[in-house]
Structure formats: structure tokens, C-alpha cells
């Protein structure tokens, strides 16, 4: 789990993040260490990978990344995976939902469907 791996053969360069899905000329293979990943967001046929320093686009589907990344990552909504180790704090918000404050400063809401799994994992 600690070693680097290629998430996809087509991950967009963060310097070219204005490229659309059809502009393959701006795509290159980038090796990302899973320990650098904070969260993954599904966006149509792409996933956006958020690290502590940059965002990347990947052509893999969220369920594929969930399998590749392993048990350190938990799905918190239909379209978001987070690295459990990158959670800085947890805040209770409206309607019994939780708001995760991530170590990179981002905030992620846990949907009610995925809330029991996260609470169980965190011992809440």
C-alpha cells in the first residue's frame, strides 16, 4: 500500500486542468503515491483526485479506484472517497450528517447512507 502506482494510463497534468475529456494531447501518465491522496470525487466519466498539493483527473471509475486504493479509503457518499488518515476533525451538522475537515483544508460531507459505516469505523 505504501508504494507508488499508476492510477491510470491517462491522468491529466495539473498544469493543463482546463483540458476537456476529449483533449488527450494534454494527458500524461503520472505516478501518485496513495498516501498523498486526500479524496477522490467522481465527476461524470472522470474522477478528480485531490492530493495535498494538486488535483488530477483520472479516467478510472470511482469503484475501480476504491478497489485499487484499499482499506485506507472509505466511501462517504455516492461520489466521494476519502483517506481515513487524512481526516483532521469531524463535525456534526444538520439532519444528523457529519462534516469531515480534511488535513489539506477541504471539507467533505458524509451522506446518511454511508454514515453508519464511518461511525462504526471511528467508534462514534
* CATH of residue 79: 2.40.50.1020
Q: How many domains does the chain have?
A: 1
Residues of the domain holding 14? 5-122
pLDDT of residue 28: 73
Assess contact for 67 and 58: CB atoms under 8 A.
Answer: no
Q: Minimum mean pLDDT among 23-32, 37-46, 67-76: which range?
A: 23-32
Nearest CA to 11 among 38, 29, 25, 26?
29
Q: What stretch of H or E contains 96?
A: none
Mean pLDDT of 46-73: 90
What is the rounded CA–CA span in Å between residue 84 and residue 118? 9
Q: Minimum mean pLDDT among 18-32, 67-81, 84-98, 102-116: which range?
A: 18-32
Q: Minimum mean pLDDT among 5-9, 34-38, 54-58, 108-112: which range?
A: 5-9
Amino acid at each position: 500500500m505504501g508504494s507508488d502506482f499508476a492510477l491510470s494510463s491517462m491522468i491529466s497534468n495539473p498544469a493543463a486542468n482546463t483540458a476537456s475529456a476529449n483533449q488527450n494531447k494534454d494527458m500524461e501518465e503520472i505516478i501518485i503515491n496513495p498516501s498523498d491522496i486526500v479524496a477522490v470525487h467522481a465527476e461524470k466519466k472522470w474522477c478528480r483526485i485531490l492530493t495535498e498539493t494538486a488535483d488530477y483527473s483520472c479516467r478510472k471509475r470511482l469503484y475501480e479506484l476504491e478497489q485499487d486504493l484499499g482499506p485506507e479509503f472509505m466511501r462517504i457518499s455516492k461520489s466521494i472517497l476519502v483517506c481515513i488518515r487524512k481526516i483532521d476533525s469531524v463535525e456534526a451538522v444538520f439532519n444528523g450528517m457529519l462534516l469531515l475537515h480534511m488535513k489539506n483544508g477541504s471539507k467533505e460531507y458524509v451522506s446518511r447512507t454511508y454514515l453508519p459505516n464511518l461511525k462504526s469505523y471511528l467508534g462514534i
